[in-house]
Structure 1
Amino acid sequence: MIENRPFTSFLSHLILILGVIAIALPIWITFVAATHNELRMNQTPLPLWPGTYLWENLQKTLFGKGLSGSETAPVWMMLLNSLAMAMMISVGKIAISLLSAFAIVYFKFPFRMTCFWMIFITLMLPVEVRILPTFEVVANLGLLNSYWGLSIPLIASATATFMFRQVFLTVPDELLESARIDGAGPMRFFWDILLPLSRTNIAALFVILFIFGWNQYLWPLLITTDTSMTTIVMSIKQMLEAAEQSPQWNIIMTTALLAMVPPIFVVISMQKLFVQGLTETDK
């Protein structure tokens, strides 16, 4: 039985409210700044309530107008670049991890567990540690300033492989035997049985990997020299340094607001599957 203590309830609600304020306040400030013009954003005190320039700022930002002195691509193009990069990373990681986990769990071959632990050890080698040799390989393959160069070095995932291996280990052996009796081959078993059982885990992982790919900054900054391949996260920093003038805070904040929309949409649209994929313990 859980006791209902007024002070404990008040304290927990107070902590939750303070947490929500701490998270929501920067987003609110970003939204407010995106609704004012450049002149108002260079005055003090800064506004705390929305203005009337949101639609105008959105038009200027999306189509590159209003970014005077900036060498960045139009924001709509940067959004497409980030979207393509995030989708290729998330889909590629899931596809490779599913197949590698399937091979490790259901196929008997020499040094099977050695291969698994070699994959798992790569968790200690993030992109930041191996960035120079990775850049050399990408450059030698001619993948600079391309979607393949942005995504391929980030596709392999030891975490996703480990996660799907644990999911496949929970599948009863009777399902495998039944599939064999029915004459189903390995890929038929994988496609018709394992994938449907892993649906919620795939959705949860997709949300995490999409946000991971969307927020990439260091790797795109290193391999892109063409402004047409700039990502949205890179552009915010570049806008701050555009030309020898005061930053256009209304445009910068509108860009930041637009950069938050796709990840928020993915999280909200897949929220139910995301929670199920993180909380399910059996199939």
Structure 2
Amino acid sequence: MAEGLVGTSRRSLTLAHVLLILGCVIVAFPIYYVTVASTHSLRTILNPPLPMLPGPETIENYREAVSGGINRIGGVGVDRLLLNTTIVALGIAFGKIVISMASAYAIVFFRFPLRMVCFWLIFITLMLPVEVRILPTYKVMVDLGLIDTYAGLILPLIASATATLLFRQFFMTIPNELFEAARVDGAGPWRFFKDILLPLSATNIAALFVILFIYGWTQYLWPLLVTNSNSMNTIVIALRKMISFADADTPWDLVMVTCVLAILPPVLIVVLMQRWFVKGLVETEK
């Protein structure tokens, strides 16, 4: 009986590993294909089948994409696109975290009239993403002269009801006695926030940063509307502009290089902050 259970358990474990490996292969193969394609010439890509091993054009393709500029997007290099996208992603991530922490701190630790009404008004904005309010938001950006600027790309996206809710739920787990003890010791609201809440929130901030950075990095609709010049494009917008309806008019070798470089920063963020990300998601007690 015991041997039968052990055998069944081993078969289940083996099946689980096979399914996981198969899933990894399915997910990783398109990335591998794009990476290999970025090392071949345009002629090789347009004459299938594409070789499954890296080609000899790696240095030339990456050099041309980064420093040579791409004709279909006005000669802008991928280095400029990566800079734009990094500024936007970091601005959105830090902006959301700062505003959400400040609003959650005020709602939890301060007593003022209509405090919960303010919280529910913030929460209701979940039903009003930028896609819903895009026309008035665009009108405001035009009136303020923020078209084709980093501020125009970042400011409409930095408010986050979800992050406010998450910080509020965490702050509510902190005993009121800690706040009272800090006040008795002479710590004002700012010092309590800086010296106590901020260190306690480190893992939550790290987990949210990873999510919000990727959210900002992959933005498409709003950057498409608020930028007119190619030099202000994000890398996602540039990728769409590089692709033509006719394969012969599309520089597929440079498109593949741009895809690889667009994938790398989010992957690095996830890999480097994986421990903090997982810890921030699973920790419930501080």
What TM-score do you get using the length of structure 2 for normalisation? Answer: 0.94
Give yes or no for the alignment of 1:178 onto 2:181.
Answer: yes
Q: CA deviation at 1:64?
A: 3.2
Q: Deviations over 1:182-229 (max 9, x none)?
A: 100011001000000000000000010000000001100011001110
Number of equivalences? 282
Summarize the Cα distance change of 1:64–1:219 in structure 2 as closer, same or farther, 3 Å threshold.
farther
Q: CA deviation at 1:243?
A: 9.0
Is the contact between residue 73 and residue 230 of structure 1 (CA under 8 Å) also seen in structure 2? no
Moved more, 193-202 or 175-184: 175-184
Q: How does 1:134-153 map to 2 (within 5 A)?
A: 134-153=137-156
Q: Which residue identity is paired with 2:125?
A: T
Which residue does the alignment assign to 1:275? Answer: 278
CA distance in 2, matches of 1:33, 1:217: 24
Picking from 215, 220, 224, the partner of 2:223 is 220
Q: Which residue identity is paired with 2:102?
A: L
Q: How does 1:166-205 map to 2 (within 5 A)?
A: 166-205=169-208
Q: CA deviation at 1:231?
A: 0.5
Q: Give aligned-pair identity as a percent.
A: 53
CA distance in 2, matches of 1:195, 1:70: 43
Q: CA deviation at 1:144?
A: 0.2
Is the contact between residue 153 and residue 222 of structure 2 (CA under 8 Å) also seen in structure 1? yes
Give yes or no for the alignment of 1:43 onto 2:44.
Answer: no
Which residue does the alignment assign to 2:59? Answer: 55
Which residue does the alignment assign to 2:13? Answer: 9
Give yes or no for the alignment of 1:241 onto 2:244.
Answer: yes
Summarize the Cα distance change of 1:2–1:92 in structure 2 as closer, same or farther, 3 Å threshold.
farther
Q: Which residue identity is paired with 1:222?
A: L
Give yes or no for the alignment of 1:20 onto 2:20.
Answer: no
Is the contact between residue 73 and residue 230 of structure 2 (CA under 8 Å) also seen in structure 1? no
CA distance in 2, matches of 1:242, 1:127: 29
Q: CA deviation at 1:174?
A: 2.0
CA distance in 2, matches of 1:241, 1:110: 57
Picking from 265, 268, 277, the partner of 2:268 is 265
Summarize the Cα distance change of 1:6–1:182 in structure 2 as closer, same or farther, 3 Å threshold.
same
CA distance in 1, matches of 2:280, 2:7: 31
CA distance in 2, matches of 1:218, 1:72: 22
Moved more, 216-225 or 244-253: 244-253
Gaps of 5+ in 1: none
Q: CA deviation at 1:3?
A: 8.8
Gaps of 5+ in 2: none
Which residue does the alignment assign to 1:107? Answer: 110
More helix by share: 2
Picking from 113, 116, 121, the partner of 1:118 is 121
Q: Which residue identity is paired with 1:147?
A: Y
Q: Which residue identity is paired with 2:275?
A: K
Is the contact between residue 137 and residue 156 of structure 2 (CA under 8 Å) also seen in structure 1? yes
